[in-house]
């Protein structure tokens, strides 16, 4: 199976939209080859703006562009977009409710060799805590493409979390992404795994491992972390009675926290979180780091069994 990075789907889709969406303006901060906004710059140089290495100014300029009716996407690595420019996102974009999409690539530890300074593991938490912010972490190229198309027409601030690494396609060919809706990839009865981003492929692999052992695990892709598909989360938790979350993010403040908040108030069931265990990343090959930080099918499967044991 060919693997495609969600950032590649992002750049390609922006380039496709250039011809039909005349209001589209794309900003980057000297990382266009890595974030793939270079694809858009090639076909539409007049509406591509390189801001230089100035992420805070990029986000705030986007607010100005949106004020005069532009559909703005701005990109950098997640750490510099959500991290460096957090307060600009909060006050200049989100507070006035401007339709700006912060499309951040290189999220999580699979950034690899660049190390901890470049590995955002807190961005979901930061963005999720902003009132009214939409937060989307697509699982594969198909979903990323659909998210970009929807966000180009979206009338609210949004954070789109994209990865560096090529990932398997996990969504069915006829899939249609809806902002705010989760998708049951595989039904099950013993436990449910809620995952986002590249952890969806790991969750699918975990479900296969569990099936071999006679454990029926459902897998749900929660691409929209905010607004969370509470109805689906509660329904699946009730159905399975045990919950595991899986994300390439700190276990504090991300998908696991969002799911825990909903379940604690509505339907408390045994739950385990898979994620980075509140430590910084480091340099290494992405695959090695996934093992070092416990983001593997084996770890997910073990947590599923632990949750089931607590039923």
Partner 1 sequence: MNISALENTAKEMRREIIKMITAAASGHPGGSLSATDILTVLYFDKMNIRPEDPTWEGRDYFVLSKGHAAPALYAALALRGFFPKEELAGLRKIGSRLQGHPVSTKCPGVDVSTGSLGQGVSVACGIAKGLKIDGKDNRVYTLLGDGECQEGQVWEALMFAAHYKLNNLTVIIDHNHLQIDGNVDDVMATSPLDQKLDAFGFNVLQINGHNLESIATAIDRAKECTHKPTAIIANTIKGRGVSFMENQAGWHGSAPKPEEAEQALQELA
Chain contacts with partner 1 (rule: CB under 8 A): 28, 30-34, 50-54, 56-57, 79-80, 84, 112-118, 282-285, 288-289, 292
Q: Which residue in this structure is represented by tokens 């076909």?
A: 43
Kindly list the residues in this chain that would bind ligand TPP in the complex (CB under 6 A): 30-31, 53, 80, 84
Q: Decide whether 37 or 272 has the Cβ nearer to partner 1.
A: 37
Q: From the CB of 135, what's the least distance to ligand TPP, in Å?
A: 22
Closest CA to 18 of 54, 53, 42, 36: 42
Cα distances from 310 to residues 170, 221, 244, in angstroms, run 30, 24, 12
Q: Is 69 exposed, middle or buried (0-12, 13-18, 19+ CB in 10 A)?
A: exposed
* Share of the chain residues as helix, strand and coil, in percent rounded to the nearest 5: 45, 20, 35
Q: Decide whether 109 or 246 has the Cβ nearer to partner 1.
A: 109
Q: Decide whether 238 or 285 has the Cβ nearer to partner 1.
A: 285
Q: Which option in partner 1, ligand TPP, none does residue 186 bind, with CB closer than 5 to 8 A by kind? A: none
Q: Which option in partner 1, ligand TPP, none does residue 187 bind, with CB closer than 5 to 8 A by kind? A: none
Q: Which option in ligand TPP, partner 1, none does residue 289 bind, with CB closer than 5 to 8 A by kind? A: partner 1
Q: Decide whether 81 or 240 has the Cβ nearer to partner 1.
A: 81
Answer whether 112's CB lies under 8 Å from 284's CB: yes
Q: Decide whether 31 or 225 has the Cβ nearer to ligand TPP.
A: 31
Q: From the CB of 49, what's the least distance to partner 1, in Å?
A: 10
Q: Decide whether 73 or 194 has the Cβ nearer to partner 1.
A: 73
Give the chain's radius of gyration (CA, Å): 19
Strand partners, 135: 159, 226
Q: Is 282 exposed, middle or buried (0-12, 13-18, 19+ CB in 10 A)?
A: middle
Q: From the CB of 123, what's the least distance to ligand TPP, in Å?
A: 14
Q: Which option in partner 1, ligand TPP, none does residue 311 bind, with CB closer than 5 to 8 A by kind? A: none
Q: From the CB of 170, what's the least distance to partner 1, in Å?
A: 27
Q: Which option in partner 1, ligand TPP, none does residue 231 bind, with CB closer than 5 to 8 A by kind? A: none
Q: Is 156 exposed, middle or buried (0-12, 13-18, 19+ CB in 10 A)?
A: middle
């Amino acid at each position: 199976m060919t693997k495609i990075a969600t950032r590649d789907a992002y750049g390609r889709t922006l380039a496709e939209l250039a011809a039909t969406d005349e209001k589209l303006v794309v900003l980057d901060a000297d990382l266009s080859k890595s974030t793939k906004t270079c694809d858009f710059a090639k076909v539409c140089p007049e509406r591509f703006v390189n801001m230089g290495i100035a992420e805070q100014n990029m986000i705030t300029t986007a607010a100005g562009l949106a004020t005069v009716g532009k559909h703005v996407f701005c990109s950098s690595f997640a750490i510099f977009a959500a991290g460096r420019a957090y307060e600009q996102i909060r006050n200049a974009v989100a507070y006035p409710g401007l339709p700006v999409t912060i499309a951040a690539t290189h999220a999580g530890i699979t950034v690899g060799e660049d190390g901890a300074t470049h590995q955002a593991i807190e961005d979901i938490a930061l963005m999720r805590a902003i009132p009214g912010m939409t937060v989307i972490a697509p699982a594969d190229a198909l979903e990323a493409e659909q998210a970009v198309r929807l966000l180009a027409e979206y009338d609210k601030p949004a954070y789109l979390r994209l990865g560096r690494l090529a990932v398997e396609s996990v969504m069915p060919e006829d899939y249609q992404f809806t902002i705010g809706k989760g998708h049951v990839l595989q039904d099950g009865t013993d436990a449910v795994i809620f995952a986002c981003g590249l952890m969806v492929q790991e969750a699918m692999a975990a479900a296969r491992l569990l099936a071999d052992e006679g454990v029926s695990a459902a897998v749900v892709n929660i691409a929209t972390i905010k607004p969370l598909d509470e109805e689906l989360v509660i329904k699946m938790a009730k159905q399975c009675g045990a919950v595991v979350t899986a994300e390439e993010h700190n276990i504090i403040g991300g998908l696991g926290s969002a799911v825990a908040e909903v379940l604690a108030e509505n339907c408390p069931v045994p739950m385990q979180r898979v994620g980075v265990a509140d430590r910084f990343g480091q340099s290494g090959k992405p695959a090695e780091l996934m093992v070092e930080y416990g983001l593997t099918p084996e770890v997910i499967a073990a947590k599923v069994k632990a949750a089931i044991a607590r039923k």
